[in-house]
Amino acid sequence: MAASDLLPDGSAGTLSGPAESISANGELNVGESWTYTISYTVTQTDVDAGTDLTNTVSVVSNQVPGPTVASALTPLSASASLTVDKVRSNGTDPVTAAGEVIDYTVTVQNTGGLTITGVAASDLLPDGSAGTLSGPAESISANGELNVGESWIYTISYTVTQTDVDAGTELTNTVSVVSDQVPGPTVASALTPLSASASLTVDKVRSNGTDPVTAAGEIIDYTITVQNTGGLTITGVIASDLLPDGSTGTLTGPTESISANSELNVGESWIYTISYTVTQDDMDAGTELTNTVSVVSNQAPGPTLDSALTPLSASASLTVDKVRSNGTDPVTAAGEIIDYTITVQNTGGLTITGVAASDLLPDGSTGTLTGPTESISANSELNVGESWIYTISYTVTQTDVDAGTELTNTVSVVSDQVPGPTVASALTPLSASASLTVDKVRSNGTDPVTAAGRSLIILLLFKTRGD
Ligand SMILES: [Ca+2]
Ligand SMILES: [Ca+2]
Ligand SMILES: [Ca+2]
Ligand SMILES: [Ca+2]
């Protein structure tokens, strides 16, 4: 009696036994049962083969040569399965700026009962391009098979682009795994949030021109800098300028510091310039000159404002001059006429208003001035640099002549800006002399005189002569 066993893997098994049920005498007695046992450890190859496990025993004996065969079939029920996991293993969370690097780790694990072959993992990066995975590192056996229970680790890195940040949506990195046993594809994604904000600064400075401004006509140059200080590309940037006189200025520029693409790139500065010619109205108003720029954009609607202030320093001043423009010099007789010309000039930087000139004639009366004639603009304002001309005439009186002192004509000027009064006089000398002729006649009495004691009456005739 000999029993041989063929195990499921095709090897010959070693039977334990037999245990003889009636008599342990090495003979299979009539009615007796011999019992053998054998164990078999299922192999992964068996499982992977997927067919019923067949264990066959074959018995020969002298009386029944056989062989007599019996098999036990054990069905297999193993399935292939795997999991795919993708995580962001390094990098800021959330992402705040382009250039940040995200590291991803991909884990493919065999969670089933079958060896998995033909594993291929492909990666789709956030920008839609195909990534190149590093790996895999096989946790159990580096045999190119995803063994049961084994994990394969892949890694990949991604550098965030400005386009990603501007899009503002979560960054999605997706890995897709196929294999012979689990065609799938089995997909896993890692999502990385973004947190970038748009911000810009606006700076306006006076880049050229006198400080303070002292006169109309001076030119002030302004430089405006708009800078992207945030993490997003800024589009639709519009800068508008309000000049000191309230008008809208026309900016020159911008000059883009990084890329001349009409986008305010992250970190980029745009430079605009504008000039302004100070007006007399500005000077007369006397308040600081304010130039304001206002910037709007799609991402930073604002408006974001900045102003440049330029102080003014102008003062009002005038001169008054009075001259005798016609007439004898010196005056020698009553009745002579003296013409005076009065000049009031704005010698300061401000328009002067409310100008009033009053004249005091040599005889103490108030004269009536003729004029003014305005040299620049007949607008009743004494413009900067303008002269006003008045005239007045005076007829010398006998009293003046008799008084014998210089004739003084005085003009007095007041105004809103220069209250004064500012006074100027013209002096005209007099040169009249007193003279007389004497004629003596005898009007009564003897002639010749014959005796002492007679009165002599002398008639003096005075005549005043004028030359
Ligand atoms: Ca026996
Ligand atoms: Ca392996
Ligand atoms: Ca640009
Ligand atoms: Ca004028």
> Ligand 1 centroid to 208 CA: how many Å?
124
Ligand 1 centroid–CA 68 distance in Å is 19
Q: Which ligand is nearest to the CA of 237?
A: 3
CB 82 within 8 A of CB 108: yes
Fold that domain 200-310 belongs to in CATH:
Immunoglobulin-like (2.60.40)
From ligand 2's centre to the CA of 187, what distance in Å? 21
State the distance from the centre of ligand 1 to the C-alpha of 363, rounded, in angstroms: 177
| Same fold across 82-192 and 200-310 | yes
Burial 387-406 (b: 16+ CB within 10 A, else e): bbebebebebeeebbeeeee
Ligand nearest 150 Cα, by number? 2
Give me the residues near ligand 3 (ion), CB cutoff below 5 Å. 256, 259, 261, 263, 265, 268
16 Cα: distance to centroid of ligand 1 (angstroms): 16
Which numbered ligand comes closest to the C-alpha of 233? Answer: 3
Look up the pTM and report it.
0.69
**What separation in Å is there between the alpha carbon of 388 and the centre of ligand 3?**
57
d(Cα 205, Cα 203) in Å, to the nearest integer?
7
pLDDT of residue 459: 42
Distance between Cα 268 and ligand 3 center (Å)? 6
Q: How far is the CA of 318 from the centre of ligand 4 (A)?
A: 13
Q: Give me the CATH code for the 318-428 domain, please.
A: 2.60.40.740
Residue among 245, 226, 106, 229 nearest 177 (CA):
106
Cα(31) to centroid(ligand 1), Å: 9
Q: How far is the CA of 136 from the centre of ligand 2 (A)?
A: 10
In the chain, domain spans: 2-74, 82-192, 200-310, 318-428
Cα 270 to ligand 3 centroid, rounded to whole Å? 8
pLDDT-flagged residues of the chain (< 50): 453-467
- What confidence tens digit (pLDDT) does each residue in 350-407 have? 999 999 999 999 888 998 999 899 999 999 999 999 999 999 999 988 988 888 888 8
Q: How far is the CA of 155 from the centre of ligand 2 (A)?
A: 17
pLDDT value at residue 329: 77
What's the CA-to-centroid distance between 259 and ligand 3, angstroms?
4
pLDDT of residue 20: 96
| Ligand nearest the Cα atom of residue 226 | 3
Q: How many CB atoms lie within 10 A of CB 190?
A: 21
| Ion ligand 1 residue ranges (Cβ < 5 Å) | 20, 23, 25, 27, 29, 32
Ligand 4 centre to CA of 84 (Å) is 90
Residue range 82-192 in CATH 2.60.40.740: yes
- CA 420 to ligand 3 center in whole angstroms: 60
**Predicted pLDDT at 450:** 55
Predicted pLDDT of residue 428? 86
Q: How many Å lie between the centroid of ligand 1 and the Cα of residue 8?
A: 29
194, with CB counted inside 10 A (0-12, 13-18, 19+), is buried
- Report the separation in Å between the CA atom of 298 and the middle of ligand 3, taken as the mean of its atom positions: 15
**Residue 173 burial (C-beta neighbours within 10 Å; 0-12, 13-18, 19+):** buried
Closest ligand to Cα 148 = 2
pLDDT value at position 448? 59
Q: What is the mean pLDDT of the chain?
A: 90
CA separation for the pair 100, 161 (Å, rounded): 8
pLDDT at 133: 96
Tell me, in angstroms, the distance from the centre of ligand 3 to residue 272's CA.
14
Model pLDDT, residue 437: 58
